[in-house]
Amino acid sequence: MTLAILLLHALTGMLFIFTAGFVFVDTLNASADNIERIRLMSRLVVVLLWVTYFIGGYWYVVNYAPEKAFIMKGPWKFAHSLVMETKEHVFLGLLLLGTLLPIIATNDIHKSAGARKLMLWVTALLVLVGFGMDGAGAIISLGAKVALLPVVGG
């Protein structure tokens, strides 16, 4: 069950990144024909982002303590002390940025260059930082795996 929760966290995170990228591309081609789709997809970005947050938070509170203990005893202590701690704090910024998307989308971004530019910057940041979060998760996972490997020659 714990692996299913962790996989669901990663899946919703990747779906959030994909959806934010979709909003970015649709915003590049913003018109009266796709404005409602942009608004709908920007709301989906927020939903996926918050679902990812709650699933990850649940897993962190309920299941992460033993893994953290292994990581902190292993050779990749930085996987928790630097990467996980950074991920926890940076993700809060993602929540704020993502929550802004539907607000920005209430503007007529196909008519307003400023609103379109803001939407492009926010979605680009969401995608780039989202990929960073995914990579951070991989480093944390590897930190646990490296800690569980037998010591060679010892």
Q: What is the pLDDT of residues 106-151, one digit of tens each?
A: 999 999 999 999 999 999 999 999 999 999 999 999 999 999 887 6
Q: Estimate the crossing angle of helix 2-28 against helix 85-105, to 10 degrees.
A: 40
The whole-chain average pLDDT of the chain stands at 93
Separation of alpha carbons 92 and 80, rounded Å: 17
Domain ranges, ordered by start, for the chain = 2-146
What is the pLDDT at residue 153? 57
The whole-model pTM stands at 0.91
For residue 96, is pLDDT > 80?
yes
Vertex 4 angle, CA 61 and 58, to 5°: 20
Q: What is the three-state SS of 41-84?
A: HHHHHHHHHHHHHHHHHHHHHHHHHHHHHHHHHCCCCHHHHHHH
Dihedral angle, C-alpha 142, 8, 84, 124, nearest 10 °: 110
